[in-house]
Amino acid sequence: MLTTGPAPAAARGLADVVRNYAVAHGFDLGATSEHPEAASAALAEDVAVGIAGRSLLAKKSPPPPVKSPSPKPSPKPASPKPSPSPKPSPSPSPAAASSIDIAPTSTANSTATDDGPGPADGNPNTPGDGKVGLPSVPDNDPDNYGQWILKTIGNVVAVHLLQVPGTEKFFFMERPSGRHPDGSTSIAGYYDYQTNKFKNIDYTDSVFCAGHTVTQDGHVLVVGGHIAKSGFGDGLKGVRVFSRKTLTFHRIANMTFPRWYPTATLLPSGMVTIMGGTVLPGAGTGKNPIYEIWDPANPTQLTQRPQSPAMVARTNDIYYPNTYVLPTGHLFMFCNRYGEIMDPMAAKVITAMPNWMTVAKGVFTEYPFTGTSAMLALTPENNYTPEVVYFGGQFSYGWINTTASRLALRLKVEWDEAAGNYTFGEGWVAEKMPLARVMGDAIVLPNGKVIVLNGAVKGLAGDNAAGGAAKANEPALWPVLYDPEAPLGSRMSVLARSNIPRMYHSTVSITTDGSLLVAGCDRCDKYWWTSANISKSPTSFAEYRVEVFRPPMWFNVTAKPNIVSIDEDTWDDEDGVNVMQYGAPFALTYSMFYESDKVTRAVLVAPSSTTHSTNMNQRVVGLQILEHDVATRRLILSGPPNINIAPPGWYMLFLLNGDVYGQSEWVRLPGDAPRLDAFLETFDMKGKTKSHRL
């Protein structure tokens, strides 16, 4: 009989075990500092080291010198008035800070060295850096700037937002907020995009701050979580599955190590790596030098592998590392400002990545300096060459009123088959975004463009050290459209703003029609702003409103290609979906409004799995067009070349006419991993007696 995990005191003992193990094996765990979300007992223990950690931080990364005072931002217009919150202090102008902290693009970053893990939290002595210029775009021109639509009010805050494969449903998870619109205490539920209705799910252990992805057969896998809190059991070691078929949620196993802020990554084999996170909530509570692998062939037992010494030593706590499966089958893993390419099954580092020290001095991206990243579309046109872009983040000295990073940092990853090694072109290439952003989210559209949204212009992720309030100010209300094919310096444009702030714990997901479902924010009170028409959460901290953002190209309805039929020979009765074989023809017909229009591209888009500015299952893969009869609208595509370019699982198939895409259809890429359906049936039987824990 498995247990639900250790009590906080026992977990702290386990933290010592993990720390001792790390030291014995040559790992350097770095400095520690407090974290406001920890349980009260753990928080009390952390305060002393937090002060020491910040003293160390002040020596490593002092705030820029104050040259001349600048006025405090004042809310305008007079109504609505912001809630009481920390006010910015006099500081150097943003332009002066920029000239000090942002280096021009350079190829030297491929050889620059930067070995320290950096601070684990910001510097509370850092002065604010004054007012920033905010964009202004029309809010009534959807054809050029997109449009926001308020869809509904959910019953759960979407701290975690996952698209359920093969459906129009989205799985929500939260920390207990206590202010649910329906009066319930549910921490999980799902929203049906088609019916616009929300349904709660009964669940009993803490899933807040978990990692998650989808399984090869289309279920939702949730790992790790939070300590026992507000009547919910300890979830730190939990392995759970939400069934896409029965819409039930069960804990099926326990990990060896507790994990708070881990990342889960679906591999081409159907196995899932579970990397990073600390053994208790909060920086310095013990980072995990071991990662675990979940195998659907043996779903209740996980195997362990050592994280590389460099990954452990050169990151703060390995919080939500960004991981992407590369076309070689290797894993791209990046956290804060250090990255490596590794073989996840062999626990072998293939190569370290260049750092961005020379082009992005002092920029951190690991919580609480949270940036967001995306791997750009893999297409036949770019020879399926991966490129990863980081958007925003915060400077190492940053605090509540520090303007976030405005940088977008892009890295090309190329594999030299003959030499058997990776190269990185010019290294990290930097360009400025129209708006500084911390805690943003990046979503890759079917046309390959990226929308960056959510977050704040100033501050950090996390709860205020004084309790409850945000650590960020000036909500970043304007999405930015990033065009990776445009020339450097002209890739970004500002889109229509939302009036609803989406700061700490906000999320986004693509939908089957190519809209963006935007939700979350559970620290949406007690911040300041200078833009007009803010619509604050009606329930104070927790934001239950659910929006949809539709980008400009979505409104070109007469140019949309829509799938009419798919070759019936590909239909799978068991899953109720068409199966696309690797490298094999896949035939369909489509419709267009204008006779002269035609499909120019076809792509597969993986279902999103988003939390804390990290999308753990984002992937867009272009398909080769083998035959195209424009007169009859018959199209024959080729399935992806191999399982590394597009790992087996569920995808949305979108057709494109230039940059315009229509309604998608779900398809499945076949894999060899065992199905979980029969295994999950045993838990559904237990669920009839409300037994959700192991």
Tokens of 300: 């209740």
**Percent residues over pLDDT 70 in the chain:** 81
Query: 334 or 2: whose pLDDT is higher?
Result: 334
Number of domains in the chain: 2
The per-residue pLDDT for range 245-291, each reduced to its tens digit, is 999 999 999 999 999 999 999 999 999 999 999 999 987 778 999 99
pLDDT at 49 over 60: no
Both 464 and 570 in one domain: the answer is no
Both 575 and 516 in one domain: the answer is no
Average per-residue pLDDT for the chain: 85
Q: In angstroms, rounded to a whole number, what is the distance separating the alpha carbons of residues 459 and 398?
A: 7
What's the gap between Cα 547 and its chain centre?
Answer: 18
Residue 177 has what pLDDT? Answer: 76
Q: Are 223 and 274 in contact (CB under 8 A)?
A: yes
What is the domain-level CATH number for residue 649? 2.60.40.10
Residue 16 has what pLDDT? Answer: 54
Asked if residue 678 is part of any domain, the answer here is no
- What radius of gyration, in Å, describes the C-alpha atoms of the chain? 24
Residue closest to 435 by CA, chosen among 9, 62, 133: 133
Beta strands 577-579 and 665-669: pairing type?
parallel
| The last residue of a domain, from among 498, 521, 554 | 554
Both 157 and 272 in one domain: the answer is yes
The per-residue pLDDT for range 415-464, each reduced to its tens digit, is 999 999 999 999 999 999 999 999 999 999 999 999 999 999 999 999 87
What is the domain-level CATH number for residue 226? 2.130.10.80
Entry pTM: 0.85
Query: 565 or 115: whose pLDDT is higher?
Result: 565
Mean pLDDT of 293-304: 98
Asked if residue 91 is part of any domain, the answer here is no
Asked if residue 259 is part of any domain, the answer here is yes
- For residue 648, which amino acid is it? P
Q: Which helix (H) or strand (E) holds 98?
A: helix 94-101
DSSP at 65 = P
| The last residue of a domain, from among 554, 588, 615 | 554
Both 398 and 525 in one domain: the answer is yes
- For residue 293, which amino acid is it? I
Residue closest to 664 by CA, chosen among 679, 654, 656: 654
Both 435 and 576 in one domain: the answer is no
Q: Are 263 and 275 in contact (CB under 8 A)?
A: yes
pLDDT at 225 over 50: yes
The per-residue pLDDT for range 128-186, each reduced to its tens digit, is 888 788 999 999 999 999 999 999 999 999 999 999 999 999 999 999 877 889 999 99
Mean pLDDT of 72-85: 38
Which residues constitute the domain of residue 619?
Answer: 562-669
Both 483 and 589 in one domain: the answer is no
CA distances for 78 relative to 312, 531, 532, angstroms: 49, 11, 9
Asked if residue 83 is part of any domain, the answer here is no
**β-pair partners for 173:** 160, 188
Look at 18-22, 331-335, 645-649 and tell me which has the smallest mean pLDDT.
18-22
Asked if residue 605 is part of any domain, the answer here is yes
pLDDT at 12 over 60: no
Mean pLDDT of 649-676: 98
Q: In angstroms, rounded to a whole number, what is the distance separating the alpha carbons of residues 665 and 585?
A: 17
Asked if residue 628 is part of any domain, the answer here is yes
DSSP at 505 = T
pLDDT band at residue 118 using 50, 70 and 90 as cut-offs: confident
pLDDT at 48 over 50: no
Asked if residue 241 is part of any domain, the answer here is yes
Q: Are 32 and 54 in contact (CB under 8 A)?
A: no
pLDDT band at residue 20 using 50, 70 and 90 as cut-offs: low
| Cβ-proximal residues to 133 (8 Å cutoff; 6+ apart), any chain | none
Both 390 and 357 in one domain: the answer is yes
Tokens of 176: 């207990």
Both 546 and 627 in one domain: the answer is no
| The last residue of a domain, from among 554, 572, 597 | 554
Measure the CA dihedral 242/248/250/252, to 10°: -60
Q: Are 448 and 623 in contact (CB under 8 A)?
A: no
Residue 499 has what pLDDT? Answer: 96
Both 514 and 574 in one domain: the answer is no
**Percent residues over pLDDT 90 in the chain:** 73
Residue 381 has what pLDDT? Answer: 97
Residue tagged 């998870």 (tokens): 173
Both 588 and 529 in one domain: the answer is no
pLDDT at 201 over 50: yes
Residue 321 has what pLDDT? Answer: 98
Asked if residue 119 is part of any domain, the answer here is no
pLDDT at 120 over 60: yes
The per-residue pLDDT for range 228-242, each reduced to its tens digit, is 988 999 999 999 999
The string of DSSP letters for 633-677 reads TEEEEE--S-TTTS-SEEEEEEEEETTEE---EEEEE--SSPPSH
Tokens of 167: 């459906």
Residue closest to 524 by CA, chosen among 510, 508, 544: 544
pLDDT at 543 over 50: yes
Both 240 and 256 in one domain: the answer is yes
Both 524 and 616 in one domain: the answer is no
